[in-house]
Structure 1
Amino acid sequence: MKFRIKRKKKFKQNSPLRQLVTSFLILIFGGAFLLKLPFATTNGITLIDAIFTSTSAVCVTGLIVIDTAKEFTFYGQLIILLLIQLGGFGIMTFSIGLFSMFSGDMSLKWRFTMSSLYNEVTVIPPVEILKKILIYTFTIEAFTAAILYTQFIQKMNFSEALWTSVFHAVSAFCNAGFSTFSDSLISYQDNVIVISAISFAIILGGIGFIVLTELTRLKFSRKKRFSSQFSLHSKIVLTTTGILILGGSILFLILEWNYIMKDMPLQTKILTSFMQSITCRTAGFNSIDIGLLRESTLGIMMTLMFIGGSPGSIAGGIKTTTFAVVTGLLISKLRGRNQIVFWNRSINEEAVNKSMTLFILAFVFIYTASITLLSFHSFDTNNSFLQVVFEVISAFSTVGLSTGITAKFPTDGKILLTIIMFVGRIGPFALITAITEKVKTADYIVADENIMIG
């Protein structure tokens, strides 16, 4: 029999994850203060709306309670853009970069923290992470902005087209979903170049920096197999992402073919389905009125939003790898197998346990938040349960899509959604660790016993 030797638990006052949470809160409230200043808006903004907008920008969500195009001045939109960019990078990225400039080194604890923030599979030197993030981010954003500019300049003057291009490029790569158009991208739903540029920027921002790094190292050779150049992580991410995009596009096309897209030409139908399949997992742009979609379509979109993007990216959700592992576990159990195998490699028990914990924790959090939101006495009872759950999942997964009811939420509803966005951005694991992190005790084993299941 094994016994546990108890150790004295010490509360970690200087937890890096705790500092990360604090940094995000400082940025959120700092952004809210700036948005409250007279030069940021045309007609002023309430404190709760300023905090909500700032949180949505920092957490790269995209949910709005006031029209970004009409209610915010150029300076207000610039503040939002900076909050999106800073939130996308992650405050810890900048902290590590600045610290490294002065100290020239970084403790192993901080390296683990940085890797945890982006769910990296290896402990990478912080300066290298910072360099890669900066290079990939600015290169992709600049390229996307250049493409968008060629289209926006046809209807705008130089300065307006340039600003609109930069804003949407940053918002797309950071998976934020904020737009300087009141109707998001509905006015450009038939523009192949605009929709394609934003869609691929969203994809690149949502697959993670590990995958981006491996993509840049690809070598096309007859002697070396294409798939052998990717790690198991990247294979799972790329495959799952492709399946979700293709599957989501087909389902959206089928469900809305004779409904909201009935009068659209074939090309626009395909383009719209493709765009919504991508954006509903991570970004929050919409090229169609979400409030007019069928409930079955909303159900599909909620599933995609819940899954979200990939580890190491700016996107939210439970992540594609978590979904792949949980799905693999289910298939393995149905086949009577003990191992989850992808490309002749088994997934270790720790990853499986982490995936299941995250999956269940996210589900319980969303369910609880939805019930809480509906229980508010001031809440509009005309809103359906499906609409409320849609908004909650969108907030938790930092997507930003809305059926149009977010702006109508009472103050307590906006506060709850603000909290949901914050939790979704920091992540269940990071948030719990930041609040309750303690020194671990030694492991021990106790006797097991069977119970009846099912």
Structure 2
Amino acid sequence: MKFFTKRLTQTQMIVIGYCLIIFIGAGLLMLPVSTRTGVSTPAVDALFTSTSAACVTGLVIADTFQYWSTFGQCVILAIIQIGGLGFMTIGVFFAIILRRKIGLWTRGTLQESVNIMQVGGIVRLAKKIMVGTLFFEGLGALILAFRFSETMSLGKAVYFGVFHAVSAFCNAGFDLMGEHGAYSSFTPYYNDWVVNLVIMSLIIIGGIGFFVWNDISANKLSFKKYRLHTKIVLISTFILVFGGAALLFFFEQNHTIEGMPFGDKVLCSLFGSVTARTAGFNTVDTAALTDSSKLLTSILMFIGGSPGSTAGGIKTTTFVVLLIYVNANLRKEAHCNIMGRRLDDGSIRKASAVLCINLFSVILAVLIIITVQPVPVMDAAFEVISAIGTVGMSTGITRDLVTVSKIVLIFLMYCGRIGSMTFALSLRGHKTEPPIKVPTEQIMIG
């Protein structure tokens, strides 16, 4: 550990840690025992699947149920759990169980990993994360297993319940519904309120962030006592989920959900809005969505979940901060204010950087993919945003991508999980900026 603390920054440790998880997972998935046919999986495909699982994305080169054996599925599930919670969180939790001393450097790395604002109380938070995860995943698995047992054997129902509860809570998007048809996801359960509500609840709980958990746990239902971060996350999540559902209902009422009872239309619209927030499941054919719905879904995927969660995207807080900043400029206000608080300049700069890095990455990736193979621009953009947002929704082109395109998506999924800013900062090392201010000069903008 002393070797790492002297030579690596905390962000570099996170970057390297996820790399190790991905390559170990890829190695296991390349084994013949990991596939149903007993044939070794090509390295690029194994790496793609391992990255998708570790980065809780859900993009797949083959149907998870039909291609991977039970061993391969368990490997994917383990990678999802480690990637969703973060290897530092799990490591610190086991250190607590073994009564090992947790140093300041480890605490700082854990803080960076879960994206929490202060180091104080980080170990207690790690305990809450693990206990809360086991509780929510366990409860979700129990309800799903009970529902699945109506059409499956008890053992299979329990296995399916556990797999989908973990995948949903971690916003991973992997499913075993391929027995109903390859890449069918939850379309056979499009009108099942129990399955839909459980999956949606797990996605939202996993996607609001561990800091929000801690705040709600401390202040119960007293909204006024919540930190500004928690208030922004809860309000923005509510608006994006129900606003997105209303628009999807409007766009799809005469298309993918046409002919359904009103209640089923509402359920499908809600599920589509929630799953676009980096989960990746679907109850209607994604490829059959209207262009309006695909664009809306792309926006929701790009925004993603909230900081310090199992979700990806630029995050809800980044989106809200940028909206407030634009509004303040239009009103020619000196500061960015919200809910009786003023946002600090550092948050605004970071939000701007995150938006620009992700936007430039999406544009460059789309250009590469449509250059190396004949893919419609809309489908390529949808796939790229799904990858960098760690969502996993696809119009069906993933399995047809060439090696170069797969490598591009692997890189995007990786950056989307650890954070584009984290990856960029890891390249700096221990360098610090000299305390020198150069002369100021104005330029014309707009």
State the alpha-carbon separation in 1 of the partners of residues 406 and 45 from structure 2.
8
Shift of 1:284: 0.3
**Structure 2 residue 330 is matched with structure 1 residue 334:** yes
Q: Which one of 416, 426, 435 corresponds to residue 424 of structure 1?
A: 416
Letter in 1 for 2:289: L
Aligned with 1:29 (options 15, 23, 30): 23
Displacement after TM superposition at 1:98 (Å): 4.7
Verify the 8 A CA contact 2:196 2:271 in the aligned structure 1.
Answer: yes
Shift of 1:103: 7.8
Give yes or no for contact 1:208–1:310 (8 Å, CA) kept in 2. yes
Q: 1:317 aligns with which of 298, 313, 316?
A: 313
Alpha-carbon displacement from aligned partner over 1:322-344 (angstroms, at most 9, x marks no partner): 00000111111111112111110
Amino acid at match of 2:203: I
Name the counterpart of 2:207: 206
The amino acid that maps onto 1:30 is: I
Inter-partner Cα distance in structure 1 for 2:245 and 2:349: 31
User: Aligned partners of 2:69 and 2:243: how far apart in 1?
Assistant: 39
- Indicate if the aligned counterparts of 2:11 and 2:112 stay in contact, CA closer than 8 A: no
Residue by residue, what CA displacement relative to the aligned partner does 1:217-253 show, whole Å, maximum 9, x if unpaired? 3446xxxxx3222111100000011110011001100
Once residues 323 and 219 of structure 1 are traced to their aligned partners in structure 2, the CA distance between those partners, rounded to angstroms, is 26
1:62-101 CA-to-partner distances (Å, cap 9, x unmatched) read: 0001010111111111111001001112112233345566
Q: 2:171 matched to which residue of 1?
A: 175
Q: How does 1:112-191 map to 2 (within 5 A)?
A: 112-182=108-178, 183-191=184-192
Rounded to whole Å, the distance in 1 between the matches of 2:281 and 2:265 is 16
Is contact 1:66-1:407 (8 Å) kept?
Answer: yes
Which residue number corresponds to residue 253 of structure 1?
249
> Please, which moves more after superposition, 168-177 or 107-116?
107-116
Q: Structure 1 residue 79 and structure 2 residue 80: aligned? A: no
Give the drift of 1:430. Answer: 1.1
Comparing 171-180 with 17-26, greater Cα deviation is found at 17-26
Question: Which amino acid in structure 2 is aligned with residue 230 of structure 1?
Answer: Y
| 1:296 is the counterpart of 2:288 | no
Partner Cα separation in structure 2 for residue 448 and residue 268 of structure 1? 59
**For the residues of structure 1 that align with 2:427 and 2:58, how far apart are their CA atoms?**
26
**Take 2:60 and 2:147, find their aligned partners in 1: how far apart are those partners?**
26
Instruction: Please identify, of 101-110 and 64-73, the stretch whose mean Cα deviation from structure 2 is larger.
Output: 101-110
* Aligned: 1:391 with 2:373: no
One-letter amino acid matched to 2:207: G
Measure, in 1, the Cα distance between the counterparts of 2:55 and 2:358.
Answer: 17
Tell me how far apart the structure 2 counterparts of residues 354 and 145 of structure 1 sit (CA, whole Å).
37
What is residue 3 of structure 1 aligned with on the other side?
A: none
* Corresponding residue for residue 34 of structure 2: 40
Task: Decide whether the 8 Å contact of 1:111 with 1:125 is kept in 2.
Answer: no
| Matched residue type, 1:434 | S
Q: Report the AA paired with residue 200 of structure 2.
A: S
The letter of the residue matching 1:40 is S
CA distance in 2, matches of 1:239, 1:148: 28
Higher relative contact order (CA 8 A, sep 6+): 1
Deviations 1:366-393 (A, max 9, x none): 11111112221xx1x1x21111011001
Q: Supply the AA of the counterpart residue of 1:437.
A: G
From 46, 52, 57, the counterpart of 2:53: 57
Q: Distance in 2 between matches of 1:393 and 1:417?
A: 10
1:344 paired to 2:345: no
Deviations 1:93-152 (A, max 9, x none): 233345566784334333232222222122234432321111111100001111112210
Q: Is the 2:168–2:202 contact (alpha carbons within 8 Å) kept by the matching residues of 1? A: yes
Q: Is the 8 A contact 1:55 1:421 kept in 2?
A: yes
The answer for the alignment partner of 1:369 in structure 2 is: 365
- Normalized against structure 1, the TM-score is what? 0.92
Question: C-alpha separation between the residues in 2 aligned to 1:257 and 1:101?
Answer: 52
What CA distance in whole angstroms lies between the structure 1 residues aligned with 2:408 and 2:43? 15
Amino acid at match of 2:429: E
Secondary structure of 1:65 counterpart: coil
Where in structure 1 are there 5+ consecutive unaligned residues? 1-10, 221-225
The correspondence for 2:7, drawn from 2, 13, 16, is 13
Indicate the residue corresponding to 1:451 in structure 2. 443
Return structure 1 stretches of 4+ with deviation > 6 angstroms: none
What is the distance in 2 between the residues matched to 1:58 and 1:82?
9
Could you tell me which residue of structure 1 aligns to residue 395 of structure 2? Answer: 403
Which moved further from structure 2: 98-107 or 52-61? 98-107
Q: Which segment is superposed worse, 316-325 or 19-28?
A: 19-28
The correspondence for 1:70, drawn from 66, 70, 77, is 66
- Tell me the residue number matched to 2:279: 283
Matched, 1:215 2:209: no
- SS where residue 217 of structure 1 aligns? helix
Per-residue Cα deviation, 1:192-225 (whole angstroms, up to 9, x for no partner): 01000000100000000111122233446xxxxx
Q: Deviations for 1:4-55, whole angstroms, at most 9, x for unmatched residues?
A: xxxxxxx972223222222211111111111122221112322211111111
- Code of the residue aligned with 1:422 in structure 2: it is Y
Sequence identity (%): 38
CA separation in 1, counterparts of 2:389 and 2:435?
A: 34
C-alpha deviations, 1:286-305, integer Å up to 9, x for none?
11110000111110111110
Mapped contact 2:370–2:376 kept (Cα < 8 A): no
Q: State how many pairs are aligned.
A: 435
Q: Which moved more, 1:172-181 or 1:366-375?
A: 366-375
What whole-Å deviation, never above 9, does each CA across 1:387-416 have from its counterpart, x for those lacking one? Answer: 101100100010000000011001221121
Q: Work out the CA distance in 2 between the residues paired with 1:193 and 1:101.
A: 36
Match of 1:223 in 2: none
- Give 1:435 deviation, angstroms: 2.1
Cα pair 1:186 1:287 within 8 Å, conserved: yes
- 2:442 paired with 1:442: no
CA contact (8 A) 1:187 1:287 kept: yes
- Given residue 96 of structure 1, which amino acid in structure 2 is its aligned partner? V
